[in-house]
Amino acid sequence: MFPKNTVLNIIGTYLPPLNNEPKYANVMPNCLKELIRLTNNQDWNHNNNFNILLGDLNIDWSRDSARQTHATTLAKLLRSKNLKDCFKTLLIETDNTYHSGTTLIRIDYIYSNNNVINNGCLHKMRD
Protein backbone atom coordinates (compact mmCIF):
# COMPACT_ATOMS: atom_id res chain seq x y z
CA MET A 1 0.00 0.00 0.00
CA PHE A 2 2.76 2.46 0.92
CA PRO A 3 6.16 2.62 -0.77
CA LYS A 4 9.11 1.38 1.26
CA ASN A 5 10.46 3.84 3.89
CA THR A 6 7.34 6.00 3.75
CA VAL A 7 6.70 8.55 6.47
CA LEU A 8 3.00 8.70 7.26
CA ASN A 9 1.79 11.69 9.29
CA ILE A 10 -1.75 11.53 10.64
CA ILE A 11 -3.45 14.18 12.75
CA GLY A 12 -6.86 13.32 14.15
CA THR A 13 -8.68 16.32 15.55
CA TYR A 14 -11.89 17.49 17.10
CA LEU A 15 -12.71 21.17 16.71
CA PRO A 16 -15.48 22.11 19.14
CA PRO A 17 -18.73 23.72 18.03
CA LEU A 18 -19.22 27.40 18.66
CA ASN A 19 -20.11 28.33 22.20
CA ASN A 20 -21.02 31.88 23.22
CA GLU A 21 -19.90 31.45 26.83
CA PRO A 22 -16.86 33.66 27.55
CA LYS A 23 -14.93 30.79 29.16
CA TYR A 24 -14.90 29.01 25.76
CA ALA A 25 -13.86 32.04 23.70
CA ASN A 26 -10.27 30.85 23.19
CA VAL A 27 -10.95 27.15 22.61
CA MET A 28 -11.27 27.27 18.81
CA PRO A 29 -8.38 29.72 18.25
CA ASN A 30 -6.15 27.56 20.48
CA CYS A 31 -7.14 24.39 18.61
CA LEU A 32 -6.29 26.05 15.30
CA LYS A 33 -2.94 27.28 16.67
CA GLU A 34 -2.12 23.72 17.71
CA LEU A 35 -3.00 22.39 14.25
CA ILE A 36 -0.72 24.99 12.70
CA ARG A 37 2.07 24.06 15.13
CA LEU A 38 1.71 20.34 14.38
CA THR A 39 1.69 20.83 10.61
CA ASN A 40 4.71 23.11 10.78
CA ASN A 41 6.69 20.11 12.02
CA GLN A 42 9.53 19.24 9.64
CA ASP A 43 7.96 15.86 8.77
CA TRP A 44 4.83 17.57 7.44
CA ASN A 45 6.86 19.69 5.08
CA HIS A 46 8.81 16.94 3.36
CA ASN A 47 7.62 16.45 -0.23
CA ASN A 48 7.88 12.65 -0.06
CA ASN A 49 5.78 12.21 3.07
CA PHE A 50 2.16 11.09 3.24
CA ASN A 51 0.05 13.52 5.27
CA ILE A 52 -3.51 13.10 6.52
CA LEU A 53 -5.57 15.45 8.67
CA LEU A 54 -8.96 14.11 9.67
CA GLY A 55 -11.69 14.57 12.20
CA ASP A 56 -14.79 16.34 13.35
CA LEU A 57 -14.15 19.93 12.30
CA ASN A 58 -17.65 21.19 13.12
CA ILE A 59 -17.56 23.38 10.02
CA ASP A 60 -20.09 23.44 7.22
CA TRP A 61 -18.06 25.10 4.47
CA SER A 62 -21.15 26.02 2.46
CA ARG A 63 -22.82 28.15 5.11
CA ASP A 64 -20.75 28.67 8.22
CA SER A 65 -20.77 32.45 8.49
CA ALA A 66 -20.75 32.38 12.31
CA ARG A 67 -17.39 30.63 12.20
CA GLN A 68 -16.03 32.53 9.21
CA THR A 69 -12.81 33.61 10.92
CA HIS A 70 -12.05 30.06 12.06
CA ALA A 71 -13.10 28.56 8.72
CA THR A 72 -10.83 31.02 6.89
CA THR A 73 -7.88 30.16 9.14
CA LEU A 74 -8.45 26.44 8.63
CA ALA A 75 -8.87 26.84 4.85
CA LYS A 76 -5.57 28.76 4.66
CA LEU A 77 -3.84 26.00 6.61
CA LEU A 78 -5.24 23.28 4.33
CA ARG A 79 -4.18 25.20 1.21
CA SER A 80 -0.70 25.98 2.56
CA LYS A 81 -0.09 22.28 3.27
CA ASN A 82 -1.61 21.20 -0.07
CA LEU A 83 -4.25 19.10 1.66
CA LYS A 84 -7.30 18.12 -0.37
CA ASP A 85 -10.74 16.94 0.70
CA CYS A 86 -10.52 13.19 0.05
CA PHE A 87 -14.29 12.73 -0.18
CA LYS A 88 -14.62 15.37 -2.90
CA THR A 89 -11.48 14.17 -4.67
CA LEU A 90 -12.20 10.44 -4.64
CA LEU A 91 -15.97 10.07 -4.46
CA ILE A 92 -18.71 11.04 -6.88
CA GLU A 93 -20.91 12.39 -4.10
CA THR A 94 -20.37 13.04 -0.43
CA ASP A 95 -22.66 12.10 2.43
CA ASN A 96 -23.67 14.29 5.33
CA THR A 97 -22.07 13.25 8.58
CA TYR A 98 -24.28 15.10 11.07
CA HIS A 99 -28.03 14.58 11.39
CA SER A 100 -30.22 16.37 13.93
CA GLY A 101 -33.91 16.86 13.30
CA THR A 102 -34.12 18.36 9.83
CA THR A 103 -30.46 19.44 9.82
CA LEU A 104 -28.24 17.38 7.55
CA ILE A 105 -24.68 18.65 7.10
CA ARG A 106 -21.16 17.40 6.69
CA ILE A 107 -18.83 18.29 9.58
CA ASP A 108 -16.42 15.32 9.46
CA TYR A 109 -13.57 15.46 6.98
CA ILE A 110 -10.48 13.64 5.72
CA TYR A 111 -7.84 15.81 4.06
CA SER A 112 -4.63 14.47 2.56
CA ASN A 113 -1.80 15.49 0.30
CA ASN A 114 -1.33 14.24 -3.26
CA ASN A 115 1.05 11.50 -2.13
CA VAL A 116 -1.83 9.77 -0.36
CA ILE A 117 -4.37 10.41 -3.12
CA ASN A 118 -2.11 9.56 -6.07
CA ASN A 119 -0.71 6.37 -4.57
CA GLY A 120 -4.16 4.88 -4.20
CA CYS A 121 -4.00 4.56 -0.44
CA LEU A 122 -7.52 5.86 -0.01
CA HIS A 123 -8.91 4.36 -3.22
CA LYS A 124 -9.07 1.00 -1.47
CA MET A 125 -11.68 2.48 0.89
CA ARG A 126 -14.13 2.73 -2.02
CA ASP A 127 -13.89 -0.93 -3.08
User: Residues near 1 by Cβ (< 8 Å), separated by ≥ 6?
Assistant: 119, 120, 121, 124
Q: Which CATH architecture has domain 8-125?
A: 4-Layer Sandwich (3.60)
pLDDT in tens, 40-86: 988 788 888 899 999 988 777 766 555 677 788 888 999 999 999 88
Maximum separation of any 2 CA atoms in the chain, in Å: 49
pTM value is: 0.80
Mode of pairing for the β-strands spanning 8-14 and 50-56:
parallel
Taking the domains of the chain in order of start, what are their residue ranges?
A: 8-125
> What's the average model confidence in pLDDT over 102-110?
75
